[in-house]
Structure 1
Amino acid sequence: MSRFPSYLQSIPRWLSVYLPLGILIYPLLLTVPGLNWEEGLYREYGLVENLTALFLAIALVLFLRTAIGPESLLHRAWLVFLALGSLLFLGEEISWGQHYFHWVTPEELKTLNRQGETNLHNMRGGLEFFFTKIAREGLSFGTIVGGILVPLYLRKRRSEFAPGTLLFWLWPPLGGWLAALLSATVRLPNTIAHEFGMADGRLPKFIGEDIGEMKECFLALFILIYAIAQFRMSRRASAG
């Protein structure tokens, strides 16, 4: 097992800082005349949506690859759970392939789905509320607590855990702090604009009415960073 716990695993700066900042700046670039290549493009085919899918696909592979290594059955079960969660997030994000393969939604499902797609998170009623409110906001809250507050507390206390124990491998790396923070706060400009009646058509794409796509992108990036930390621990364990 790696000498360093999961929350102290190093993450490249380009991934932990520069990439989330680039994603944050991207909507502003689309407001520059001549640079908005997404104008007239269905939002599901835009950069933010496809980055979200890419992050989740890579995370899924890493979680599955890492699940082979740990001796702890609990650790393996956790990694499989994370892989299944990534698969669900990815599948819903791309409507289980409909965005790329363009199949026609069955009429029975189309009448129940707010956007006429083959996914669960746009189903009218309880499912939509669960995915868009409980699951997404719960995940965002978890990234702040588990990805920033707890790791900072443990690092400040210089806590030490035996390799292979629960607290050694459980917590996400501190390298995901910016993605976690942005996932929790990126909605603020839109919320403030709504309070002053300034939101309609005045905010850039993804900062305005498509803000949910930005939030999901940062959440997916955080999941990828967590997957990389778990994979690195596994690689160092096998090398050591």
Structure 2
Amino acid sequence: MAEQKWYIHPVIAVGVLMNIFVMGLALAFSHDHDAMWRLLVEDGIVEWMQFLCFTLLSALLGFLAVEQWQREPKINLQLAAFVFLSALVGLAALEEISWFQRVLHIIPPDFFVQNNRQGETNLHNLALGKSSLHKAVLLKVIVIVGLTHTIFLPLLARKRPAIRTFVEKFGLYLPPVWPSLIYVGLVILSNVVVDHPRKGELGEVFGAVHYLTTVVAAYFFGVNYGKPPVFAPSRDSRNIATLFCLVLVFMLLIGWMLSAGAGAGAYIASHPGFGAE
């Protein structure tokens, strides 16, 4: 069903509130140099939250692929979309923490030491001219695709429902408009009011939370989605949605704990002058 009142579904509502909470942390820490670095540093709260969101989303998309195969055991666009997106998001999760390089204290191969702008074992920070692959190419693609998927197509679909039907034929979905507007608004706000060299991490975590919650709401509970969801509307589906909301809040707590342990805390302890410049 194409659900217009997105705010009545707890999964999306909690996702919006979590993003607002993170934005509130950034504003609260804006005058505290050390606290801001703990929030945005490599393996900090925001980065671990991105990893957890992407990892869970990849697993859920994989589950949807299996569910789709069980319902209809043949290769089609829906199955291909779930498999591709699961792999893509899983790659993003591993790239986010440099394939566990810092957690496991792995020395990067010579190729990455020489060609990665941050000396990390990942692809998105590979040098590309005077910039990195992420800034020169990936960021522009993400902005164009993100705005098209979250804003332009959902707005057009309100007047022309055939657009939603066309998108769903490819195994995709369109998120509700208002959560998307809030997400984009938070990204813009973070870039305007936050003065920090790593403020772009805020936009990335906003996107991770937004896509995790809207994917779950669409495919699992049928919010703003025309095909049959995994869970038909019932008391059990509402209970499952509530439990998922608890998982979201727990993920934020785990991200905070990881950043204080093997993540940002260890990084800061080994770099006493970090961020001084």
Matched, 1:25 2:20: no
Checking the alignment, whether the CA contact within 8 Å between 2:40 and 2:201 is kept in structure 1 is no
Checking the alignment, whether the CA contact within 8 Å between 1:67 and 1:79 is kept in structure 2 is yes
Q: Give the 3 Å change call, closer, same or farther, for CA 223–136 of structure 1 in structure 2.
A: farther
Q: 1:236 aligns to what?
A: 231
Distance 1:37 1:235 in 2: 41
Q: Report how many aligned residue pairs link the two structures.
A: 220
Distance 2:152 2:43 in 1: 35
Checking the alignment, whether the CA contact within 8 Å between 2:12 and 2:213 is kept in structure 1 is no
Per the alignment, in what secondary structure is the counterpart of residue 230 of structure 2?
helix
Q: CA deviation at 1:151?
A: 1.5
5+ unaligned residues in a row in structure 1: which ranges?
Answer: 191-202
Distance 2:122 2:152 in 1: 33
Checking the alignment, whether the CA contact within 8 Å between 2:95 and 2:123 is kept in structure 1 is yes
Q: Give the 3 Å change call, closer, same or farther, for CA 84–8 of structure 1 in structure 2.
A: farther
The percentage of aligned residue pairs carrying the same residue is: 25
Q: Which amino acid aligns with 1:15?
A: V
Match of 1:53 among 45, 51, 54: 51
CA deviations over 1:147-194 (Å, ceiling 9, x no partner): 12222332345669779951785323434442244335632346xxxx
TM-score normalised by the chain length of structure 1: 0.74
Match of 2:123 among 120, 125, 132: 120
Distance 2:109 2:76 in 1: 41
Q: CA deviation at 1:11?
A: 5.5
5+ unaligned residues in a row in structure 2: which ranges?
Answer: 223-228, 235-277
Distance 1:179 1:167 in 2: 24
Distance 1:48 1:184 in 2: 17
CA deviations over 1:15-36 (Å, ceiling 9, x no partner): 3421111111211222466x95
Q: CA deviation at 1:75?
A: 1.0
Equivalence map 1:1-240=2 (5 Å): 4-5=1-2, 10=9, 12-31=11-30, 37=35, 43-70=41-68, 71=72, 73-125=76-128, 129-157=132-160, 166=169, 169-174=172-177, 175-183=179-187, 186-189=190-193, 203=195, 208-228=196-216, 229-233=218-222, 234-236=229-231
Q: 1:198 aligns to what?
A: none
Q: CA deviation at 1:104?
A: 1.2
Q: CA deviation at 1:42?
A: 8.4
Q: CA deviation at 1:144?
A: 2.1
Distance 1:137 1:119 in 2: 19
Checking the alignment, whether the CA contact within 8 Å between 1:176 and 1:226 is kept in structure 2 is no
- 137-146 vs 169-178, which deviates more? 169-178
Distance 2:57 2:35 in 1: 28
Per the alignment, in what secondary structure is the counterpart of residue 112 of structure 2?
helix
Per the alignment, in what secondary structure is the counterpart of residue 133 of structure 1?
helix
Q: Alignment RMSD, CA only?
A: 3.6
Per the alignment, in what secondary structure is the counterpart of residue 48 of structure 1?
helix
Distance 1:163 1:6 in 2: 17
Distance 1:103 1:140 in 2: 32
Q: CA deviation at 1:224?
A: 0.9
Q: Which amino acid aligns with 1:66?
A: L
